[in-house]
Chains A and B, each alone.
Chain A
Amino acid sequence: MEFEPVIGIEVHAQLKTRTKLFCGCSTNSGEKRNSNVCPVCLGMPGALPVLNKKAVEYAVRAGLALNCTVKELSVFSRKNYFYPDLPKGYQISQFDLPVCENGSITIDVDNRKKTIGIQRIHMEEDAGKLIHQGSASIAGADYSLVDLNRACVPLIEIVSEPDIRSAREARVYVEALKLILQHTGVCDGNLEEGSLRADVNISIRPLGQEKLGTRAEVKNLNSFRSLERAATVEIERQKALIISGGKVVQQTRNWDDASQKTTALRSKEEAHDYRYFQEPDLIPLRLPVAMIREIKNSMPELPVKKMERYKADLGLNDFNSYQILVDCDMNRYFEECLLIKEDIEPSEICKWILGDLNALVKDGNSSFSECKVTPEKLITLVKLIKSGKISGKIAKEVIKKMYETGADPENIVKESGVEQISDTDMLQAAVDKVLAANPDVVLKIKAGKTNSANFLMGQVMRETRGQAQPDLVRKLILDTVNKG
């Protein structure tokens, strides 16, 4: 029997607001434990939540970017459960009336377009963090400590329709979401650090059958690789189970990267009854149409549009126009370069960013935003190449120095004397020397094998420590041979 996987994904994205969802505390959870807290996010008796406007704006932005209907009226609800990282004993979330509904995005899965429906986007607050002592989980711990810096940090949960049909699609979908959320400035999109979290709901059914199979939810997916892998493994597990006459039970499963397996966390019977009800401490959220329009008008360019622009207006190819936008930092850098590029070709800038500069940034464990090679300096460098002042090869050395010291490319070129030699008289001497030392090659050229000139060019470049202007050298070699 052939099976078809049916996958729906819930993505939690941390909104990039400066302050928390219901209080004025900083969202920076990296600081000293329990330092960014106040009576509200600590769940002190009598404290009340006040909704962060910026978070609403970001949630709306995400909704618009994912082609959702933004609801003029949405409501916060309490999701009740006990856990030590949940200070109020309930999470303020949205339940029956979320802020956005009915969206979709089109993804490109190995050159095949596919539209994935977005059921809803709702806002909610994050919980705190437990630090267990003596065990990895609360069950075996001697004791556990609570850090509430993260409590009340704003999240959106993006719930897809069960439109995904393979592990590969699942990965591409979340990658696409990440890109959109990053480019709209809504979320950092870091799976590893948890600012983006994906829970994957998987079921399988015989191909052609309409009725859905029983699903399992897989959690703890910390990278795109593990997401795709976990989905693959879970699909296979369910297939094997059914083929051997077993039944899939509805449960939550944990992905273990080390063993590359999913294991059961809890079954449906053990699932909480969250007893949702409307949060009486907050009034319903009303978003006037004018406000939604305003947010729409101030939206940053979406990645899809950007890619089209790169291809159509800048002449970048498919690959490069995607690569130059996957890393937001890098993309911002590229855009800054475009603003000051003058007559430099965008593809040339793109080449340097994706190539040498990216390698340097990666090797240095740094980022484009803190890169000492500023866009201005990179443009200057490319101009030096274009004007023939330095060769591309020399430029590779210059950019390394720029990256290390932050110096201007012009100064580096001057100080290290690597400026390209385009003085005919100077080069002629080197050409004559090389020709005299390689009479056999000269003969070959004379016999019409002009490719052999490449060897002689290399020799001249060596003589001139790479500073000779290659086109000029070639011309001089051929002219000299033909003259002689």
Chain B
Amino acid sequence: MEILEKSVKEIHGLLKNRVLKCRDLIIQTYKNIEQQEPEIQSFISLAKEESISRSEEIDRLYDKGEELPVLAGIPIAVKDNICIKGQKTTCASRMLADFVAPYDATVTKKLTEHYMIPVGKLNMDEFAMGSSTENSVFHTTRNPWSLDCVPGGSSGGSTASVAAGQVPLSLGSDTGGSIRQPAAFCGVTGFKPTYGRVSRYGLVAFASSLDQIGPVAKNVEDISCVLNAISGHDSMDSTSADIAVPDFTLCLGKDIKGLKIGVPAELFGPAINSDVRQCVINGLELLSKEGACWEEVNMESFPHAIETYYILSSAEASANLARFDGVKYGHRYHNAKNIKEMYKKTRGSGFGSEVKRRIILGTYVLSAGYYDAYYAKAQKMRTLFKLDFAKAFKKYDVLITPSSPTTAFKIGEKIEDPLDMYTADIATIPVNLAGLPAISVPCGFVDGLPAGLQVIGKAFDEETVLKVAYKYQQLTDFHKKKPKLLN
């Protein structure tokens, strides 16, 4: 059990010195998973046999004294919208419940190149649409800090599994906050890289211009290690950036003297739970003591985040999800009399209600006669978000906000009120609209539930974000706290 509480570098040292066998590490990982799974339900599928045989191969390499990457032999769990060849990739949807990916996502290949062991696929909101993981067709993942509460979403499985000590690392995807918001709810560290930093090839698209894969871990150092492995230009993804990838661990530990922090006033108002707000302000105070200075900044676009995001992301989703038509793969309604009925009944029975809501919304905003009023206007709005950030980053090195306006809410509390659910992402959405890097780190507890602090950086300046977040974790121990059920 304790082994998984160690950092990536510590585990690597143990593996390298052969104090720990990779096989034992993997067996222990599955023990943890199986022990917690009845309560937490982070996973959709496990790849136990493959993982154990892979661990044996890696043990042989370590035995031979081969110089292996720091992540070699370390287990990682992967959100179930990232393709692993030969394994099910369900997107937590009936539509793909039996879909076996015929190819590897680029990040999957990179995990393999680093000898990592993908132990299983994680639960999520269907097609990454949601903020609670309640929209999974399989089951609702529960928050390890309080089983009555949601883990957040859509990468709820990714954050709950790390929080519950089932795995040391996981991958999630973040379209409007889907890594950072659940990371905040589960008291773990979650990072969304700059749009284009990590290849999207093999990530089942929700909203292509916003989606980005990112790591979840217990601390910033581990995040940096995974980020090193998965970043970089990919010729298979035209939107991936051909920009050099630094070693993201080198910026850790550097001081933050003179660092200028902008604090968006819009995210410290009444929409934010006052206790959560206080946790973040406490964090700012701590950073000030280290020589950083902060001041409020107005981000006038921020109040329009929800409508802008739901128009754009739903429009893209309505096209991205058109391929699930029953013709080529996945779920199909079999008793249709003609092609039209096949389409309707396949999609009608294959998608859950939130996904349908977004497809209908997206189709509507792109329709003739409505395009200008909605989609075109939202695109202009998106430009305003970018301009606001550009202006702010002329003055500040990073922006700091709460990751989510509240701590984890109760299962069932918001599922009947989509609009209320959508507001869980008001702090994270602007970051996706501008394509920026941002991290969520645990910053305190409100009634026993973790709160998250978000650090936002300039495009492709992940290093400053990581440096600040690392410093913060040196000053605090919120990220070391473990949920009671595990103690």
Contact = CB atoms under 8 A, between A and B. Distances in A.
A43 B238 contact: no
Contacts of B81: 46
Contacts of A208: none
B89 interface: yes
Given A87-B328, A277-B319, A280-B208, A48 B200 contact: yes
A385 interface: no
Chain A residues touching B, range: 20 to 34
A280 B202 contact: no
A39 B322 contact: no
A46 B205 contact: yes
A44 B204 CA distance: 9
Contact of A44 (B102, B200, B237, B343): B102
A282 B238 contact: yes
A43 B204 CA distance: 11
B92 to A, nearest CB: 13
A2 to B, nearest CB: 37
A80 B208 CA distance: 16
| Majority-rule SS of B interface residues | loop
Contacts of B322: 80, 82, 88-90
B328 A45 contact: no
Given A39-B103, A42-B328, A51 B339 contact: no
B363 interface: yes
A90 B96 CA distance: 19
Given A46-B205, A50-B236, A84 B327 contact: yes
Contacts of B82: 46
Contacts of A50: 235-238
**Chain A CB within 10 A, most for which of B235, B316, B322, B366:** B322
A266 to B, nearest CB: 14
A82 B343 contact: yes
B230 interface: no
A194 interface: no
Nearest to B338: A139
Contact of A80 (B96, B204, B319): B319
A344 interface: no
A450 B103 CA distance: 87
Contacts of B338: 139
B325 A44 contact: no
Contacts, number: 105
A78 interface: yes
A388 interface: no
Contact of B323 (A43, A277, A281): A43
Nearest to A49: B238
A143 to B, nearest CB: 10
B244 interface: no
**Chain B CB within 10 A, most for which of A45, A84, A276, A280:** A45
Contacts of A138: 339
B62 interface: no
Nearest to B362: A275
B209 interface: yes
A85 B365 CA distance: 26
A139 B340 CA distance: 10
B91 A45 contact: yes
Contacts of B200: 46, 48
Interface in B332-390: 338-339, 343, 363, 366-368, 371, 375
B368 A89 contact: no
9 contacts: A46-B82, A46-B202, A47-B201, A50-B235, A84-B327, A89-B325, A273-B368, A280-B207, A280-B208
Interface of B: 81-83, 89, 91, 96, 99, 101-103, 105, 200-205, 207-209, 235-239, 315-316, 318-319, 321-325, 327-329, 338-339, 343, 363, 366-368, 371, 375
Interface of A: 39, 42-51, 78, 80, 82, 84, 87-90, 138-139, 144, 146, 273, 275-277, 280-283
Given A48-B201, A89-B323, 5 more contacts: A46-B81, A48-B237, A50-B235, A89-B325, A146-B328
